[in-house]
Amino acid sequence: EAGVAQSPRYKIIEKRQSVAFWCNPISGHATLYWYQQILGQGPKLLIQFQNNGVVDDSQLPKDRFSAERLKGVDSTLKIQPAKLEDSAVYLCASSLTDRPRAYNEQFFGPGTRLTVL
Amino acid sequence: GDSVTQMEGPVTLSEEAFLTINCTYTATGYPSLFWYVQYPGEGLQLLLKATKADDKGSNKGFEATYRKETTSFHLEKGSVQVSDSAVYFCALKTNAGNNRKLIWGLGTSLAVNP
């Protein structure tokens, strides 16, 4: 079974530029997550999709970050314009669903390491 | 709010040494608890889990027991190998209300020397 795919693996940009990341979850997984992982910290949830609807985007800096999952499958996360503090690894994860009181393992992609200069 | 606290790293051990990485949590209700591992250059992988008090999760020689009385979920392994070198994250997921996202610790880096 193929895992969660992400691209690119690495990206270097200058501040105020734009960048986009792509994620293809495991086939059949309804729930998709984007996390930001700053060096030395745990992952921080940016946005969670259930199919093509947003479940939680409370920690997404909406003035510069946007994400979509138009057909309920793959997803893109965009930063426009980027700031120095956006340098981090951006992780995509997916799970079968997100039902209450049910355990749904999140499977993570390899991440995209973003460096903003 | 809900939180996870795990011991700071880095932890450096010799091969075959005993490993303990402490993790304590604060949560309302009855959370599920997880240990994830991140090997160099790879994504996060679930290592083990426990969903209720006194459950013991185990995988690849690692164990952790859900202790509600001490709100802890310490990770242990009797004999570490060089291949266990990675960053280990403790996490919880509450099952109450609508806020069911994973809450993560800061991670503990483990280096095992031959």
Give mean pLDDT, residues A85-99: 89
**B1 falls in which pLDDT band (50, 70, 90)?**
confident
In eight-state DSSP terms, residue B76 is E
Mean pLDDT for the stretch of residues B58-86 = 97
Query: Which pLDDT does position B100 carry in this prediction?
Result: 66
Question: Above 70 in pLDDT, residue B97?
Answer: no
% of chain B residues with pLDDT over 70: 95
B95 with A101: Cβ contact below 8 A: yes
**pLDDT average, residue stretch B33-58:** 92
Find the CB nearest A110 among B42, B95, B105.
B42
Dihedral angle over CA of B67, B88, A92, A107, nearest 10: -60
Residue B32 to residue B21: CA distance in whole angstroms: 18
Which candidate in A38, A106, A107 is best for mutational testing of the B interface (most B CBs within 10 A)?
A106
The pLDDT assigned to B66 comes to: 96
Residue B52 at interface with chain A, using a CB cutoff of 8 Å: no
Residues B101-105: contacts with CB within 8 Å, 24+ apart? B101/A45, B101/A48, B101/A56, B102/A43, B102/A45, B102/A106, B102/B34, B103/B2, B103/B3, B103/B4, B103/B25, B103/B27, B104/A42, B104/A43, B104/A44, B104/B4, B105/A42, B105/B4, B105/B5, B105/B6, B105/B23
The shortest CB-CB distance from A98 to any of B44, B91, B100 is to B100
Give chain A positions within 8 Å (CB) of B89: 42-43
High-pLDDT (> 90) share of chain B, %: 76
> Residue B12: pLDDT above 80?
yes
CA separation for the pair A40, B19 (Å, rounded): 21
Question: Per-residue pLDDT for B101 more than 90?
Answer: no
pLDDT for B40: 87
Which of B41, B43, B101 is the closest to A45 by Cβ? B101
pLDDT per residue as tens digits for the range A40-58? 888 999 999 998 899 899 9
**In B, which residues are within 8 Å of A39 by CB distance?**
none
pLDDT at A1 over 70: no
